[in-house]
Amino acid sequence: MSAENVVREGAGSAFCEPERVMTGDEAPIPKEVPPKSPDLSAWYNAICYKAELVSLAPVRGCIVLRPYGYGLWERLQSALDQRFKETGHENAYFPLLIPESLLTREAEHVEGFAPEVAWVTQGGNEPLTERLAIRPTSEVIVGTMYAQWVQSYRDLPILINQWVNVVRWEKRTRPFLRTLEFLWQEGHTAHATESEANEEVQRMLDVYVDVAENIAAVPVYKGEKSASERFAGANHTFSIEALMPDGRALQAGTSHALGQNFAKAYDIKFADENQAVQYAWTTSWGMSWRMLGALIMVHGDDRGLRIPPKMAPIEAVIVPIVKGGSDEATVAARELYATLKKAGLRVKLDERDLRPGNKFADWEMRGVPLRIELGANDIAQGVATVVRRDKLKGEEGAKSAVPLAELSSRCSELLIAIQANMFAQARTFLHSHTIEVSDRAEFYKLVRERAGMIDIPWCERGECEAHVKAETSATSRNLRPLDGAAVCVACGEPARVRAYFAQAY
């Protein structure tokens, strides 16, 4: 069949499942994508394009999000948005363009973003008297407006989110993971007290953990960023970090305690209960379509994408097996489609004029969690054949015959099981590649080899982190409290925190 035209060279890293070993006459090895293990990058790019998530745009570093990819984004969006609303936030919209004079008010912030800001210098045919930045993020413009809206402690807190695009002039781009323009949400809040702001920062970080793990089925570690990894202008930055199959970490969401830095730069002041004028405490937090990149890499396999049900634009696809010119299967499939749709399932009926095998491979590559086959044999027995995308072919429970009357309830159960199984698989990977080390040489070796999340007691010193980076190109991903006394595994100084180190995307 098609095994010959697939590159099988390369030992295959320890990170990927050896799923390509197929035997017998039916080997579901996709023609369209290379195997995942030897070259994650090649696999990833192929998946993004072949599964029709994105296309490259005629602008360097920009992607077109195609309908199926946008469907993924919408799922993520609605999961987040729902949680933002539940935690008291409202959506709003701030302008894309930011006057240069505004941007430069918070010194650290400007300095941090300067290298990646895109500028508008001309309007129509006239040069502008002041350059306009295309937002790389919106703290500046939001802060400016909050200053106008806040007079009294009674005006606080302000809890606003916006769903927008931002532009950052990146040197090196990859679909979803790093593009010049990307979609995200940015939450911006202002509070009367530091403790209230800090609570907000943690609350939203927990929302990200919830969505990453329970919706995208991507297990993450949460913690605080080191000084060098902190958001420009923030006092504290917290992140969730996922681990990719090649052993690199991916920051999938951030939440910043901005202290009073932006309030002072943009003059967000209020009178408190004692009529004393105070600066507000602000926060910001964001998750981007990069999360989709994490989902793709974490769950995909050699057959293509695997989408966790809660993220799947299509939860189940019905493939009628048409035989001998009879329309029996087609009729039954249409009925089934109507039933499942009515039951609330995101279901698709594939009536394309293709052979079943083509359809199977196609939907597998697109990662649809459930495939429902309906042919003469099934109909004779009053069942449909249901196949799970999260299991390997021939694996226990991968395929089952489900009585038609029970199909919608059975699908719901299976989707729940698939979601749980995919998360469990990903979590097993994360845990098995999270390595506590206490030996310095071992630490450097593992981090250099991208062995995973390398967990050590750490001194938290910038010099130490710089040294690790120079030696291994890895940095701390995030930090959490250390219990007890310990020495830094990287340098031998007294440790202050526990830290995950890894090379990052």
57-96 binders of RNA (CB under 7 A): 60-61
Nearest CA among 300, 422, 320 for reference residue 365: 300
319-338 binders of RNA (CB under 7 A): 321-325
Residue among 139, 301, 373, 455 that touches RNA (CB under 7 A): 373
Contact region with RNA (CB under 7 A), list: 10-18, 27-35, 193-201, 410-418: 27-35
Residue 478 CB neighbour total at 10 angstroms: 25
Q: Do the Cβ atoms of 223 and 478 come closer than 8 Å?
A: yes
Residue among 130, 172, 273, 483 that touches RNA (CB under 7 A): 172
* Nearer of residues 250 and 495 to RNA, judged by Cβ: 250
Residue among 15, 16, 30, 281 that touches RNA (CB under 7 A): 30
Binding flag, residue 134, RNA (CB under 7 A): no
Q: How far is the CB of 486 from RNA (least distance, A)?
A: 27
Residue among 171, 276, 441, 485 that touches RNA (CB under 7 A): 171
Nearest CA among 281, 214, 282, 268 for reference residue 427: 214
Binding flag, residue 28, RNA (CB under 7 A): yes
Q: Do the Cβ atoms of 331 and 338 come closer than 8 Å?
A: no
Bridge partners of 161, per DSSP, are: 91, 187
Residue among 66, 269, 391, 393 that touches RNA (CB under 7 A): 393
User: CA distances (Å), 258 to each of 190, 197, 208, 266, 312, in order?
Assistant: 10, 9, 18, 12, 35
Determine the Cα–Cα distance for residues 80 and 158; give it in Å rounded to an integer. 18
* Nearer of residues 17 and 267 to RNA, judged by Cβ: 17
Q: What is the DSSP letter of 313?
A: S
Contact region with RNA (CB under 7 A), list: 274-282, 347-355, 424-432, 436-444: 347-355
Give buried/exposed letters for 155-175 (b at 16+ CB in 10 A, else e): bbbbbbbbebebbbebeebbb
284-323 binders of RNA (CB under 7 A): 286, 288-290, 303, 321-323
178-217 binders of RNA (CB under 7 A): 178-180, 182, 184
Q: How far is the CB of 254 from RNA (least distance, A)?
A: 6
Overall residue count recorded for the chain in this entry: 505
Q: Do the Cβ atoms of 446 and 456 come closer than 8 Å?
A: no
Phi, psi angle pair for 251, to nearest 5°? -75, 120
Q: Do the Cβ atoms of 490 and 441 come closer than 8 Å?
A: no
Residue among 109, 135, 168, 346 that touches RNA (CB under 7 A): 168
Q: How far is the CB of 263 from RNA (least distance, A)?
A: 21
Binding flag, residue 115, RNA (CB under 7 A): yes
Binding flag, residue 8, RNA (CB under 7 A): no
Q: Do the Cβ atoms of 450 and 435 come closer than 8 Å?
A: no
Contact region with RNA (CB under 7 A), list: 138-146, 270-278, 349-357, 415-423: 349-357
Bridge partners of 240, per DSSP, are: 222, 253
38-57 binders of RNA (CB under 7 A): 41-42, 45, 56
Binding flag, residue 360, RNA (CB under 7 A): yes
Q: Do the Cβ atoms of 250 and 239 come closer than 8 Å?
A: no
402-461 binders of RNA (CB under 7 A): none
